[in-house]
């Protein structure tokens, strides 16, 4: 049985997390993803510690390996005419180009979307940026936290510490809390990009119900746009009542005693008893029927203090046993090592093992979150490539003779595998 995207060819010019995670999703589903890296250091994340001993110098970073299995790598100097010509030659035979430079960088090099479209009108060109291809901040640098701050999510994340004015920009309260996961990079950028790419490919190729246009298009992904869309419910309420929420005001972000994390005798648990039946099950299970009518009180109330005391009276294991007997949406708050070793993660095959050249024993990584019943993807097909590992093979497959390949390498317009770290020569990244 073939992989669902095995007929899709992707040129990935991106760096770091957003583009790398997007092309990982495509690669795991079978897409032929070719990392187009510069003749300098390539993808910056290649050199980020910690490292696996024994692996190639450019493919030993645990962070790099986590994002780049099932891909190949070629090195081209896009600041040289020969390198740009080679990129355009590759564009003629691919379906998708993915990049994460600041807007206009590839245009200034003469290999932007309009130029690529001349070579291949069917190309789907996806650009991931912080603030989009237009707008007042199109050229501004940024990272995940900056995007979340500007779209209101960071300001809503954290605890109210008191005061009637709320905990927003102008109110009293605890400071914003950064998420451990990169919401804008992955949720607003990588996943939106993968969705946009698949939508554009579907429109191009069509279906039984509707013929495709046969044309590609530009997919403009703004990480701030994508992250803002995660606040659909919060914004929907604001558009109706005009009331600005602050930290601690949102029902699903700390405002209700029935939907919060609680400290227990030896750790933390999460109570998600939002529906009355779950709250009633918890109250009756702990013998506190008197709390049933106080479900929607806020933190700081006397009811909250009593609930906190009840949770502190038992260990995490005791609460797990309690949850198994009383359906009340109660789960432990696990550390990462506990989560990765859990029965849930194991049963869902969310940890996979790969062989990486030079590394003794398997390299463990997170598995595939999308499960297809008939044509599932495959996470462990290929190890992550060394920098420029496939340069000569790709050039040869593109129709170049050995002499032409040697000329490109000698001119520095292309480069093969590098034995170790080299100086950065990036054309300019989103950040």
What is the per-residue pLDDT across 104-160, written as a single tens digit (0 to 9) for each?
Answer: 999 999 999 999 999 999 999 999 999 999 999 999 999 999 999 999 999 999 987
Which CATH number characterizes residue 380's domain?
3.40.50.10540
Residue 236 lies in a domain: no
Q: For residues 34 and 150, state if they share a domain.
A: yes
Q: For residues 31 and 62, state if they share a domain.
A: yes
| pLDDT in the model for residue 170 | 41
Which CATH number characterizes residue 336's domain?
3.30.1540.10
Q: For residues 353 and 333, state if they share a domain.
A: no
Asked if residue 75 has pLDDT above 80, the reply is yes
Measured distance CA(26)–CA(35) in Å, rounded:
13
Residue 420 lies in a domain: no
Asked if residue 11 has pLDDT above 70, the reply is yes
The arithmetic mean of pLDDT across residues 288-311, rounded, is: 97
The arithmetic mean of pLDDT across residues 277-300, rounded, is: 97
| pLDDT in the model for residue 160 | 79
Rg (CA), the chain: 25
Asked if residue 426 has pLDDT above 50, the reply is no
| pLDDT in the model for residue 110 | 96
Asked if residue 429 has pLDDT above 90, the reply is no
Asked if residue 102 has pLDDT above 80, the reply is yes
Structure-token match 């779950």, residue found: 278
Asked if residue 53 has pLDDT above 60, the reply is yes
Residue 2 lies in a domain: no
Residue 311 lies in a domain: yes
Q: For residues 220 and 301, state if they share a domain.
A: no
* Angle, CA 260 vertex, CA 323 and CA 150 arms, to 5°: 140
Q: For residues 102 and 166, state if they share a domain.
A: yes
Give the domain-ending residue among 340, 373, 390: 340
| pLDDT in the model for residue 159 | 87
Residue span of the structural domain in which 172 resides: 9-229+348-415
Asked if residue 339 has pLDDT above 50, the reply is yes
- 366-406 tens-digit pLDDT: 999 999 999 999 998 999 999 999 999 999 999 999 999 99
Q: For residues 196 and 256, state if they share a domain.
A: no
Asked if residue 427 has pLDDT above 50, the reply is no
Measured distance CA(269)–CA(311) in Å, rounded:
8
| pLDDT in the model for residue 1 | 72
Tell me how many domains the chain contains.
Answer: 2
| pLDDT in the model for residue 167 | 42
Q: For residues 34 and 68, state if they share a domain.
A: yes
| pLDDT in the model for residue 405 | 96
Asked if residue 424 has pLDDT above 80, the reply is no
The arithmetic mean of pLDDT across residues 180-208, rounded, is: 97
Q: What is the pTM of this model?
A: 0.93
Q: For residues 158 and 142, state if they share a domain.
A: yes
Q: For residues 72 and 183, state if they share a domain.
A: yes
Lowest-pLDDT range, 32-41, 171-180, 191-200, 357-366?
A: 171-180
Q: For residues 283 and 206, state if they share a domain.
A: no
Per DSSP, the three-state class of 235 is helix
Give the domain-ending residue among 307, 340, 373: 340
C-alpha neighbours within 13 Å on the C-beta side of residue 247: 24
Residue 55 lies in a domain: yes
Residue 244 lies in a domain: no
- Dihedral angle over CA of 248, 249, 253, 258, nearest 10: 100
Residue 46 lies in a domain: yes
Asked if residue 420 has pLDDT above 60, the reply is no
| pLDDT in the model for residue 419 | 60
- 316-333 tens-digit pLDDT: 999 999 999 999 999 999
**What share of the chain in percent tops pLDDT 90?**
92
The overall average pLDDT reported for the chain is 93
Residue 242 lies in a domain: no
List the one residue out of 11, 45, 56, 39 whose CA is nearest residue 394. Answer: 11
Q: For residues 363 and 389, state if they share a domain.
A: yes
Lowest-pLDDT range, 97-106, 154-163, 303-312?
A: 154-163
- 241-261 tens-digit pLDDT: 999 999 999 999 999 999 999
Q: For residues 334 and 369, state if they share a domain.
A: no
| Residues with Cβ within 8 Å of residue 184, at least 6 apart in sequence | 144, 147, 148, 151, 223, 224, 226, 227
Give the domain-ending residue among 340, 357, 392: 340
């Amino acid at each position: 049985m073939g992989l669902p995207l095995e007929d899709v060819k992707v040129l990935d010019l991106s760096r770091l997390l957003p583009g790398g995670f997007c092309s990982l999703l495509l690669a795991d589903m079978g897409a032929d993803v070719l990392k187009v890296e510069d003749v300098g250091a390539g993808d910056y994340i290649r050199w980020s510690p910690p490292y696996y001993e024994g692996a190639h110098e450019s493919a030993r970073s645990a962070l790099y390996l986590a994002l780049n299995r099932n891909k190949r790598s070629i090195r081209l100097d896009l600041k040289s005419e020969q390198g740009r010509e080679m990129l355009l030659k590759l564009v003629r035979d691919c379906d998708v180009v993915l990049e994460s430079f600041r807007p206009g960088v590839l245009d200034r090099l003469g290999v932007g979307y309009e130029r690529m479209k001349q070579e291949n009108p069917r190309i789907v060109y996806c650009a991931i940026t912080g603030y989009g291809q237009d707008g007042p901040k199109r050229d501004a640098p940024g990272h995940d936290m900056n995007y979340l701050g500007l779209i209101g999510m960071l300001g809503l994340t954290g605890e109210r510490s008191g005061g009637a004015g709320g905990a927003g920009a102008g109110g009293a309260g605890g400071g914003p809390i950064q998420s451990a996961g990169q919401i804008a990079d992955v949720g607003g950028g990588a996943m939106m990009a993968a969705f946009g790419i698949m939508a554009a490919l579907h429109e191009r190729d069509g279906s039984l119900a509707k013929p495709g246009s046969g044309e590609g298009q530009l997919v403009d992904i703004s990480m701030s746009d994508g992250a803002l869309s995660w606040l659909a419910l919060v914004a929907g309420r604001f558009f109706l009542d005009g009331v600005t929420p602050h930290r601690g005001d949102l029902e699903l972000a700390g405002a209700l005693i029935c939907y919060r994390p609680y400290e227990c005798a030896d750790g933390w648990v999460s109570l998600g008893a939002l529906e009355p039946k779950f709250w009633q099950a918890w109250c009756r299970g702990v013998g506190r029927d008197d709390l049933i009518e106080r479900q929607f009180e806020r933190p700081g109330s006397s009811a909250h203090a009593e609930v906190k005391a009840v949770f502190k009276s038992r260990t995490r294991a005791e609460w797990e046993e309690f949850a198994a007997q009383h359906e009340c949406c109660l789960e432990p708050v696990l550390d990462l090592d506990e989560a990765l070793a859990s029965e849930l993660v194991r049963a869902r095959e969310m940890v996979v093992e790969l062989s990486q050249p030079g590394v003794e024993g398997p390299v463990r990584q997170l598995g595939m979150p999308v499960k297809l019943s008939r044509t599932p993807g495959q996470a462990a097909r290929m190890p992550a490539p060394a920098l420029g590992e496939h340069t000569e093979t790709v050039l040869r497959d593109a129709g170049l003779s050995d002499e032409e390949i040697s000329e490109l390498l000698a001119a520095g317009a292309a480069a093969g595998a590098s034995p170790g770290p080299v100086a950065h020569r990036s054309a300019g990244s989103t950040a």
